[in-house]
Amino acid sequence: MELNFNLHEKQMEIFRDPARFKVVAAGRRFGKSYLSAVTLLLEGMKEENEYGMSLKSKQVWYIAPTYQQAKDIMWATLKDLGGPLIKKVHENTATITLINGRQIQLKGSDRPDTLRGPGLSYVVLDEYAFMKPEVWDVIVRPMLNETRGGALFIGTPDGKNHFYDLFVTASNAENWKAFQFKSIDNPIIDSEEIEAARQTMSEAAFRQELEASFSGGGTGAFAPEYFQYDDTNPYGSGGVYITVDLAGFSETNTMSKSAEANLDETAITIVEVTPKGWFVLDQISGRWGIRETALRIIRACHHYHPMALGVEKGALMNAVEPYLQEYMRRLGVYPRIVPLTHGNKRKIDRIMWALQGRFQHGQITFKRGHWNKKLTDQLLDFPNPLVHDDLVDSLAYIDQLAEVSFVPADEFYTSAHEEALLIDPIAGF
């Protein structure tokens, strides 16, 4: 029997992946229900698994937050797509018996008494963000043990709850795979419809519902309406400062994917500071070896001629310092280096003190650039221990650095064509 379910490219990417457990965060109208129906039917048609175990007596389940939702979302689609594969339909129990005798059954997670029974070979958990986490952990997961069965978690994010936790797990754990797709990744969706939705929805709702962003709702510390963008400094001219939040130095080409995903990034922030506000000129971030880190820092100094370069004090600063000095000599630029400290404040408090009021009063503007989204994503996530905040931390350090620098820029900065001044014992120049 030849079947053609016409999955689009991104749906096919999920379907073909060999991971046992797949977690899919996708925007509205991506095609989650269609993919779920196809998966249920093809899993149900299997008569034995890859381990040679018979699946004849094992069911395939589709679970939604409520039984009525399961019926509303999946029942008609499953019957329509299953056509030639279906032997019998049991309307009262939302059960489909396939031509090979196996059954697909619809369930609601709000009725946990119906979720205990025979072993399963496969399960789809739709809109998992709106289920209690114990549905999977306590009830469903053990039912897959006998057959070593698989699961597809699929839905739209609802902030950073247990669905997000599972997504993070799937990004790093063996036999798991995480996928994230926007609504526009469905080729049937008209881009003009997406833009029309953007005009009527809040930014937070748009990011969550159509871009499948876990940070769509944010945490309240920094709101999307705080962010201002311009091509030129709206506050007038000022002095430029560069701050660096150092991360561990690793050569990424020798790292495993899971290790790379968990590693912090070095963040270099360049800001023009005036009495009226900060104009964020650029942010450079990445995971680099120690030499490349030093080179990128000094190149930024060469380009922007800062009044001061602030580097987070500690073992990482001590490690990178000799390489900074080497590239300073090579490029002929000698910025004043200031060691930055936490000032006996908790990180969250230090960042909030430095940034929140300025954002609320319109005193921070971003120069338009490709780096904008990465920074605003981190700001909307902050404070959340599960996500990176390197760019936010680096930006907050500007507050400390600007307060300790009062001398005009050209007294702090020289080049190879001028007489070098001994301006900082740490830098050695």
- Whether 221 and 392 have beta carbons less than 8 Å apart is answered as no
3-state secondary structure of 405: coil
Structure tokens at 12: 């096919």
Return the higher-pLDDT residue of 40 and 426.
Answer: 40
Give the model's pLDDT for residue 2. 53
175 and 257 assigned to the same domain: no
Contacts of 16 (CB under 8 A, 6+ apart): none
171 and 244 assigned to the same domain: no
Rounded percentage of the chain residues whose pLDDT exceeds 70: 87
273 and 146 assigned to the same domain: no
Range 291-318 average pLDDT:
96
pLDDT band at 425 (very low <50, low <70, confident <90, very high): very low
CATH number for the domain including 179? 3.40.50.300
The residue from 182, 209, 236 where one domain ends is 209
341 and 257 assigned to the same domain: yes
Long-range contacts of 85-89 (CB under 8 A, 24+ apart): 85/1, 85/3, 85/41, 85/44, 85/45
272 and 401 assigned to the same domain: yes
Residue type, 256: S
Q: Is residue 420 part of a domain?
A: no
Q: Is residue 279 part of a domain?
A: yes
What torsion, rounded to 10 degrees, do the Cα atoms 186, 187, 193, 199 define? 60
Nearest Cα neighbor of 150 from 168, 131, 170 is 170
Q: Is residue 218 part of a domain?
A: no
Give the model's pLDDT for residue 386. 57
304 and 189 assigned to the same domain: no
pLDDT band at 328 (very low <50, low <70, confident <90, very high): very high
Reported as a single tens digit per residue, the pLDDT across 17-62 is 999 999 999 999 999 999 999 999 999 999 988 888 889 889 999 9
Reported as a single tens digit per residue, the pLDDT across 94-146 is 999 999 999 999 999 988 777 877 789 999 999 999 999 889 999 999 999 99
Q: Is residue 195 part of a domain?
A: yes
Number of domains in the chain: 2
Given a cut of 90, is residue 306 above it in pLDDT? yes
The per-residue pLDDT of the chain, averaged, comes to 86
Q: What is residue 129's DSSP assignment?
A: G
The residue from 180, 209, 238 where one domain ends is 209
Reported as a single tens digit per residue, the pLDDT across 249-301 is 765 444 333 334 446 899 999 999 999 999 999 999 999 999 999 999 999 99
Given a cut of 50, is residue 226 above it in pLDDT? yes
The residue from 209, 234, 255 where one domain ends is 209
Q: Is residue 1 part of a domain?
A: no
Nearest Cα neighbor of 275 from 304, 307, 236, 308 is 236
Reported as a single tens digit per residue, the pLDDT across 363-390 is 999 999 999 999 998 898 887 765 789 9
Contacts of 415 (CB under 8 A, 6+ apart): 332, 333, 334
Give the model's pLDDT for residue 158. 82
231 and 203 assigned to the same domain: no
Nearest Cα neighbor of 250 from 241, 239, 261 is 261
Q: Is residue 217 part of a domain?
A: no
CATH number for the domain including 407? 3.30.420.320
Residue 221 CB: number of other CB atoms within 10 A?
19
Whole-number Cα distances in Å, 217 to 152, 222, 411: 25, 11, 46
107 and 52 assigned to the same domain: yes
pLDDT band at 6 (very low <50, low <70, confident <90, very high): confident
- Whether 56 and 99 have beta carbons less than 8 Å apart is answered as no
123 and 30 assigned to the same domain: yes
pLDDT band at 220 (very low <50, low <70, confident <90, very high): low
Strand order in the sheet with 229-230: 229-230, 364-367, 277-286, 266-274, 239-245, 308-312, 337-340
Whole-number Cα distances in Å, 179 to 14, 26, 156: 7, 8, 12
228 and 307 assigned to the same domain: yes
In DSSP notation, 210-229 reads TT--TTTT--SSS-GGG--E
Report helix angle 390-403 to 372-381, nearest 10: 90
Lowest-confidence region among 203-212, 335-344, 381-390 = 381-390
Rounded percentage of the chain residues whose pLDDT exceeds 90: 63
Sign of the C-alpha dihedral computed for residues 336, 340, 343 and 347 taken in this order: positive
162 and 243 assigned to the same domain: no
pLDDT band at 418 (very low <50, low <70, confident <90, very high): very low
Cα angle value 177/37/33 (rounded, 5°): 75
Structure tokens at 145: 């043990």
Whole-number Cα distances in Å, 390 to 283, 292, 361, 397: 11, 18, 23, 11
Q: Is residue 102 part of a domain?
A: yes
173 and 46 assigned to the same domain: yes
Q: Is residue 425 part of a domain?
A: no
Range of the domain at 364: 224-412
Give the model's pLDDT for residue 403. 76
Range 150-163 average pLDDT:
89
